[in-house]
């Protein structure tokens, strides 16, 4: 059966990436060795890492004032590592509260310093993005989540603030061109738009570091990672390789402008279909809808269950909403073909015709 992968992450990657990754497990770059057995301090791996780092810099169009690190631990570890490196005990940082990942970032930051909530969309179940912020002048940085995977909202502008800007871009990185130079620190778990689970990208402006008094355990100190050339400890070699391949695919397929065009085609098709069918109710304010994750409900719980069953029968996976919000969700990351969205739209229309 043909499968349609609407997972929210880990999710679909390009077919070429699967093929190249599998080949490299048998024989990496004609070395006669598997990518799984090569040392991380070999020139073989260094080439992989350096290409991945260069691809990130090229896609972001950032200069050498930034360092590109591939770290362990997922974005959740960055929720901790960011304030551990940047927020003194008596200082405060501003955070936007726009969904469950932002909330987790706020929670971790609270272990290190004070948190000022600059904006919250909690009053409407995080179904919109705040247009005005209340950022204290002495906040040492503003943190926000560019795309809310669970709630299906996305920032379509970059907040304009005077302090360093930090973003968790886990679920929409590299889906569109952006002025990345407006950020002082960007991080993203790789497992949506830029690779498989098991590695996290952190891009940090060097002049942001070394300004606090807290002693930082070396393994969590961004400066130590930078000094060690991003090889402070054994990196997740294969996950870095898969991310490098995925970034290479993005560049070969037209870069961020092309990714955005494809994302808009997918999202337009899906949201237009949903808007045309009264049975399905998208939950997010129209102007804040995510290009990556479309969240909607069926008001009748029994029908929702029937729809999910029909998805399953048609090989469409990942359509159930996150356990914290329920409903339905269709995720449409970079590697998802438009034909997959067409397939689920056909099912949406057919289902509505039969049940509506």
| Interaction of residue 76 with a copy of itself, rule CB under 8 A | yes
Q: Nearest to residue 265, comparing CAs of 275, 273, 255?
A: 273
Q: Is residue 276 helix, strand or coil? A: helix
User: What percent of the chain is helix, strand and coil (3-state, nearest 5)?
Assistant: 40, 15, 40
| Interaction of residue 22 with a copy of itself, rule CB under 8 A | yes
The active-site residue out of 97, 101, 114, 288 is: 101
The active-site residue out of 97, 114, 155, 168 is: 168
**Binding residue per annotation — 31?**
no
**Is residue 305 flagged as an active site residue?**
no
Q: Strands, E, within the chain: which ranges?
A: 4-5, 66-71, 92-97, 114-120, 142-145, 147-148, 153-154, 165-168, 185-189, 200-205, 280-282, 293-298, 316-317, 328-331
Instruction: Give dist(CA 304, CA 298) in Å, integer.
Output: 5
**Binding residue per annotation — 41?**
yes
**Binding residue per annotation — 168?**
yes
**Segment contacting a copy of itself by CB under 8 A, of 132-140, 265-273, 314-322, 338-346:** 314-322
Asked whether the CA dihedral 283, 288, 289, 293 is positive or negative, the reply is negative
Which of 136, 317, 343, 355 forms a contact with a copy of itself (CB under 8 A)? 317
315: left (phi over 0), alpha (psi -120 to 50) or beta: left
| Interaction of residue 268 with a copy of itself, rule CB under 8 A | no
Which of 29, 89, 181, 233 forms a contact with a copy of itself (CB under 8 A)? 233
Q: Which two tokens stand for residue 126?
A: 């995080």
**Is residue 205 flagged as an active site residue?**
no
| Interaction of residue 314 with a copy of itself, rule CB under 8 A | no
| Phi, psi for residue 186 in degrees, rounded to 5 | -130, 135
| Interaction of residue 228 with a copy of itself, rule CB under 8 A | no
To a copy of itself, the closest distance from the beta carbon of 286 in angstroms equals 28
Which residues ranging from 91 to 130 are in contact with a copy of itself (CB under 8 A)?
Answer: 104, 107-108, 111-112
Helices then strands, each counted (H, E), the chain: 9, 14
In the numeric block, the tokens 């289902």 are attached to: 351
**Binding residue per annotation — 329?**
no
Which residues ranging from 271 to 290 are in contact with a copy of itself (CB under 8 A)?
Answer: none
The active-site residue out of 97, 114, 172, 192 is: 192
Residues serving a catalytic function are 101, 168, 192
Binding residues for L-glutamate: 8, 41
Binding site for a copy of itself (CB under 8 A): 1-3, 5, 7-13, 17-19, 21-23, 25-26, 31-34, 36-40, 72-77, 79-80, 84, 104, 107-108, 111-112, 189, 191, 196-199, 215-220, 232-239, 242, 315, 317-318
């Amino acid at each position: 059966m043909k499968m349609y992968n609407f997972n929210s992450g880990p999710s679909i990657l390009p077919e070429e990436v699967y093929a190249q990754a599998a080949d490299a497990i048998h024989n990496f770059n004609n070395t006669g060795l598997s990518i799984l057995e090569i040392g991380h301090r070999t020139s073989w791996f260094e080439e992989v890492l350096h290409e991945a780092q260069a691809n990130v810099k090229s896609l972001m169009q950032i200069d050498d004032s930034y360092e590109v690190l591939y770290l362990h631990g997922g974005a959740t570890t960055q929720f901790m590592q960011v304030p551990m490196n940047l927020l003194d005990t008596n200082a405060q940082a501003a955070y936007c509260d726009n969904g469950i990942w932002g909330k987790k970032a706020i929670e971790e930051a609270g272990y290190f310093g004070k948190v000022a909530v600059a904006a919250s969309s909690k009053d409407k179940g995080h179904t919109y993005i705040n247009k005005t912020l209340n950022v204290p002048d002495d906040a040492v940085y503003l943190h926000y989540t560019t795309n809310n995977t669970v709630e299906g909202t996305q920032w379509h502008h970059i907040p304009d603030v005077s302090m360093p800007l930090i973003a968790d871009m886990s679920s929409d990185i590299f889906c569109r061109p952006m002025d990345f130079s407006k950020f002082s620190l960007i991080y993203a778990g790789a497992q949506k738009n830029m690779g498989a689970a098991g590695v996290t990208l952190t891009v940090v402006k060097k002049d942001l570091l070394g300004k606090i008094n807290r002693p930082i355990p070396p393994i969590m100190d961004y400066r130590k990672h930078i000094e060690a050339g991003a090889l402070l400890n054994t990196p997740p070699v294969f996950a870095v390789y898969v991310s490098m391949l995925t970034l290479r695919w993005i560049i070969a397929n037209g870069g961020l402008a092309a990714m955005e065009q494809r994302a808009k085609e997918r999202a337009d098709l899906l949201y237009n279909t949903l808007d045309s069918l009264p049975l399905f109710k998208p939950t997010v304010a129209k102007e804040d809808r995510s290009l990556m994750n479309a969240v909607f409900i069926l008001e009748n719980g029994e029908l929702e269950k029937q729809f999910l069953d029909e998805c399953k029968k048609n090989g469409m996976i990942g359509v159930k909403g996150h356990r914290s919000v329920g409903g339905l969700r269709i995720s449409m990351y970079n590697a998802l073909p438009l034909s997959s969205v067409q397939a689920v739209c056909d099912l949406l229309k057919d289902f509505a015709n039969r049940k509506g």
